[in-house]
Chains A and B, each alone.
Chain A
């Protein structure tokens, strides 16, 4: 091994060692990291305020005639600026809450406010809206058009709302978080949909409308016990309760108009909280009477059916709400819809999740995204998967050792003849059954043996010693090193612990895979008298296998659904390996080694 190659090998070993240090490090208490984040947050908040104020000013400048802006300055004080014909007057800092009431009559034109002012100074804005009939619009970095701010009655009190459309309004807090509603979650949410329809048995018309449009996601309820059971069973679901509302309760009336069930809406909210679900309650004026998201006017159950049916085809929750409000009537959206939106969406079954239940390779490599815990059998299956995966790459590597298909085939025939006690020439004329055994299982077994031996050779000579040494080094150095970095605020919560935990799975997998190949590798070296004559070949083997494994890990982390194809690869890769073998055998000349031919060398 020359000095350059030695240095390269050392560099690779150091890299692997560093990698092991990172993935093996225990959870370190975070200190300085948290401090840095806090400083950055304060700085970014001031910057954000200035940016939002500039946007409000730009909107006021663009408005014709008179306008005003209400924004917070860097220190968080409310600042009023009057505008006339696009020219700003002096900025006035309003120190006290009542200041705005005192000067409300002097404010003319549309008042542009920032989202933070809308959220934190709602009482002052209500004063502006109710006393002087001002037009207020909120501007933000994420929307091009200013949104109108109005007052609405919710839970029997006057609240500020931001109007998205004629029929859809948001609480200021919900408006601030609306980005979540604009993500493509609806496909998963539709899978978790549970509609609870409070419809009496005899109203077959309404029941028929529900079942024909919404199918099996509808559960009909006509008594208290069934409703309670339905709510308890709806775990991590998007629950839409459709029912007749009187005052603050769902009331179910029979065909004669008599009440047959009475259930308080607060009890429904409580049940939904207990099951970590999201509730969209569809009854008349729910938002006005009880609070939370819901209709603010009279609604028709059959419109709800139509709205849900069309809304479920939407891509985002925002589109869904647009469609539902368009069909059903005005809707008010509060933050109660946001809390578990992601959790419910994530609970939807995916192909990769289903795969994870059976394919342990996914669970081992993706512990941070899949909840199912990795078990011993998971690792066993992971090794089972990794074997064929290495097989294909190992076959390529075999070429560089001068083991061509031609040479392999001769060995197979010799072994077959020796095994059956025949002469070599008798092999040329064999029965069909024997041909199948010889031509299919012979090469496959040879390929498997060679590949596993070679993989063992690479793993044991390169990775295992490093992992072995690294394990002790890491134990000694990792935790003290991390603690030195984090000596400030050692009592704060751990940092990046989930990443460390996730990466440990990969490290463990590497070590576990290495162990079974240990004996096979040494046997192979002993049998074939392989020596480390050509360090380039060895490095090439390491590179091919490392790159292929790294690529696989990267792909399954970035694209979990690709695991479906990887799983298929379990069956496809050996088949491709066989096809490649026969192809090379058929077209290849009588030379022994492809690499030797390329290099113009001949070991013989």
Chain B
């Protein structure tokens, strides 16, 4: 018997991505109603034990959705990384050009042109700074690079969990399903956290 309802990220993902499936599960397994409705029961007795059948069905459904969810997050992370790289490149080019332009204006002794060139160079270097900040350090947990590294490692973790589930389903080994769900829930918690940091729906 499993304390399934404590694994809230599993149910949150299913409810968000597959509301039809969540409704179906709720009808078939009333003991999981609170979990599928997103309730956070603040006590022991609020965690009714789920049947092994329910656990296996939930595991099968959620592993598919977890892969899709993780892919979504990685897709967004890749796009943002590319955008930031482009931003930094553009900033670098503008800085370089304006530096060259500034040299010319210094030699030409045109005070107004010097001021414009200096302003452009300053703005471009600011863009570079912002790009670097967002990519590396923004809000600590919100670092694009940090999130990308974390999610990339979760891909490997998810593959291991999937393999574990296949073996458990073949052997009808409920204990491995249980531990696999716990690991998957932890992984989905991190994915949820990344989604929140990226401003995606949760």
Which A residues form the contact surface with B (CB < 8 A)?
A: 200-206, 208, 242-247, 253-258, 282-285, 298-302, 304
B45 within 8 A of A: yes
Asked if A255 and B43 make an inter-chain contact with CB atoms under 8 angstroms apart, the answer reads no
Give the Cβ gap from B187 to chain A, nearest Cβ, in Å. Answer: 8
Of the residues A202, A253, A285, A304, contact of B193 by C-beta under 8 Å: A202
- B7 within 8 Å of A by Cβ? yes
Residue of A nearest to B186 (CB): A256
Which residue of chain A lies nearest to B44 when distances are taken between CB atoms in the complex? A246
Is B40 within 8 A of A206, CB to CB?
A: yes
Mostly, the B contact residues are: helix
Which residues of A sit under 8 angstroms from B34, Cβ to Cβ? Answer: 300
**Are B9 and A245 in contact, CB atoms less than 8 angstroms apart?**
no
Candidates A202, A242, A244; contact of B9 at CB < 8 Å: A202
Nearest CB of chain B from residue A1's CB, rounded to whole Å = 82
- Residue pair B202, A246 in contact (C-beta under 8 Å): no
Q: How many A-B residue pairs have CB under 8 A?
A: 91
Q: Give the CA-CA distance A242 to B42 in the complex, in Å.
A: 8
Cβ of A302: which chain B residues have Cβ within 8 Å of it?
38-40
Contact of A205 among B6, B12, B43 (CB under 8 A): B12
Nearest Cβ distance between residue A575 and chain B, in whole angstroms? Answer: 48
8 Å CB contact of A203 from B44, B189, B195: B189
B147 at interface, CB cutoff 8 A: no
Chain A residue with minimal CB distance to B192? Answer: A204
Residue B91 at the A interface, CB < 8 A? no
Residues of B within 8 A of A246 (CB): 43-44
A257 and B3 within 8 A (CB): yes
Q: How large is the interface on B (under 10, 10 to 19, 20 to 34, 35 or more residues)?
A: 20 to 34
Given contacts A208-B202, A257-B3, contact A301 B189 (CB under 8 A): no
A256 near B41: Cβ-Cβ < 8 Å: no
- A255–B7 CB distance below 8 A: yes
Question: Given that A203-B8, A257-B3 are known contacts, is A244 also in contact with B42, CB under 8 Å in the complex?
Answer: yes
Q: Give B67-107 interface residues, CB cut-off 8 Å to A.
A: none
Q: What are 19 A-B contacts defined by CB distance under 8 Å?
A: A202-B9, A202-B186, A202-B190, A203-B192, A204-B193, A204-B195, A204-B202, A205-B192, A242-B42, A244-B42, A245-B44, A255-B7, A255-B186, A284-B42, A284-B43, A284-B45, A285-B43, A298-B42, A300-B40
| CB-defined contacts of B64 to chain A, threshold 8 Å | none
Q: Which of B44-70 contact A (CB under 8 A)?
A: 44-46
Contact B38 A254 (CB under 8 A): no
Q: Is the CB of B38 within 8 A of A298?
A: no
> B185 on the interface (CB 8 Å rule)?
yes
Does any Cβ of A come within 8 Å of B126's Cβ? Answer: no
Find B6's partner among A243, A257, A285 (CB 8 Å cutoff): A257
Main secondary structure of the interface of A (DSSP, over half): loop
Quick check: B39 and A300 within 8 Å, CB to CB? yes
Tell whether A256 pairs with B43 under 8 Å between CB atoms, given A202-B193, A208-B202.
Answer: no
Assess the A256–B185 pair: CB atoms within 8 A: yes
Residue from A253, A282, A300 whose CB has the most chain B CB atoms within 10 Å? A300
B190 proximity list for chain A (CB < 8 A): 202, 255
Which residues on the A side are within 8 Å of B186 (C-beta)? Answer: 202, 254-256
Cβ contact within 8 Å between B43 and A245:
yes
| Chain A nearest CB, measured from B189 CB (Å) | 3
Q: Which residues of B contact A205 (CB under 8 A)?
A: 8, 12, 38, 192, 202
Using an 8 Å CB-CB cutoff, how does the interface string of B169-199 with A read, 1 for contact, 0 for none? 0000000000000110110111011011000
Which residue of chain A has the shortest Cβ distance to B187 in the bound complex?
A255
Of A204, A284, A301, which is in contact with the most chain B CB atoms at under 10 Å from its CB?
A: A204
- CB within 8 Å for A300 and B193 given contacts A205-B12, A255-B7: no
Let me know if A283 and B43 touch, CB within 8 A.
yes
Inter-chain CA distance A247–B185, complex, in Å, is 25
- Bound together, the chains give a CA A254 to CA B8 distance in angstroms of 9
Give every chain A residue within 8 A of B42 (Cβ-Cβ). Answer: 242-245, 282-284, 298-301, 304
Q: How far is the CA of A203 from the CA of B190 in the complex (A)?
A: 9
Question: What is the chain B residue whose CB lies nearest that of A304?
Answer: B42
Inter-chain CA distance A247–B189, complex, in Å, is 26
- Nearest-Cβ distance from residue A308 to partner chain B, whole angstroms: 14
Chain A residue with Cβ nearest B191: A202
Q: How far is the CB of B185 from chain A (nearest CB, A)?
A: 5
User: Are the CB atoms of A301 and B185 closer together than 8 Å?
Assistant: no
- Interfacial chain B residues near A285, Cβ < 8 Å: 43, 45
Given contacts A202-B9, A205-B12, are A254 and B189 in contact (CB under 8 A)? yes
Report Cα–Cα, A285/B185, bound state, in Å.
Answer: 27
In chain A, what residue has the closest Cβ to B178? A257
Q: Which chain A positions have C-beta within 8 A of B39?
A: 300-302
Q: Find out whether the CB atom of B44 lies under 8 angstroms from the CB atom of A300.
A: no
Q: With the chains together, A208 CA to B44 CA distance in Å?
A: 24
> Residues of B contacting A282 with CB < 8 Å?
42
Contacts of A256 in B (CB 8 A): 7, 182-183, 185-186, 189
Query: What chain A residues lie within 8 Å of B40 (beta carbons)?
Result: 203, 206, 300-302
Tell me, in angstroms, the Cα distance from A283 to B9 when the chains sit together: 21
Q: Nearest Cβ in chain A — how far from B35, in angstroms?
A: 11
Extra A-B contacts (16), CB below 8 Å, given A200-B189, A245-B44, A257-B7: A202-B189, A203-B40, A203-B189, A203-B192, A205-B38, A242-B42, A244-B42, A247-B44, A255-B188, A255-B190, A256-B7, A257-B182, A258-B182, A298-B41, A299-B42, A300-B34
- Nearest B residue to A300 via CB reads B39
Q: Which 5 A-B pairs have the closest CB atoms?
A: A284-B43, A255-B189, A202-B189, A301-B40, A204-B196
Q: Once bound together, how far apart are the Cα atoms of A253 and B38, in whole Å? A: 16
Which residue of chain B lies nearest to A254 when distances are taken between CB atoms in the complex? B186
Query: Which single residue of chain B is at the shortest CB-CB distance from A202?
Result: B189
Chain B residue nearest to A305 in the complex (CB): B40
Chain A proximity of B173: nearest CB distance (Å): 19
- How far, in whole Å, are A302 and B42 apart by their CA atoms in the complex? 10
Instruction: List residues of chain B with CB within 8 A of the CB of A208.
Output: 196, 202
Residues of B within 8 A of A242 (CB): 42
Q: Tell me how far the C-beta of A71 lies from the nearest C-beta in chain B, rounded to whole angstroms.
A: 41
Shortest C-beta distance, B119 to chain A (Å), equals 38
- A260 → chain B, closest Cβ, in Å? 11
Q: Scoring B residues 2 to 14 as 1 if CB is less than 8 Å from chain A, else 0, what string do you get?
A: 0100111100100
For residue A201, which residues in chain B have a CB less than 8 angstroms away from its CB? Answer: 193
Q: When chains A and B are docked, how far (Å) is the Cα of A545 from the Cα of B9?
A: 74
**Chain A residues, Cβ within 8 Å of B7:** 255-257
In the complex, the chain B residue whose C-beta lies closest to that of A284 is: B43
Pair B189/A300 contact, Cβ less than 8 Å: no
Q: Which residues of A contact B9 (CB under 8 A)?
A: 202-203, 255
Indicate if the CB atoms of A298 and B202 lie closer than 8 Å. Answer: no
- Which residues on the A side are within 8 Å of B6 (C-beta)? 253, 257
Residue among B3, B42, B46, B183 with the highest chain A CB neighbour number at 10 A = B42
Complex alpha-carbon distance, A201 and B194, angstroms: 11
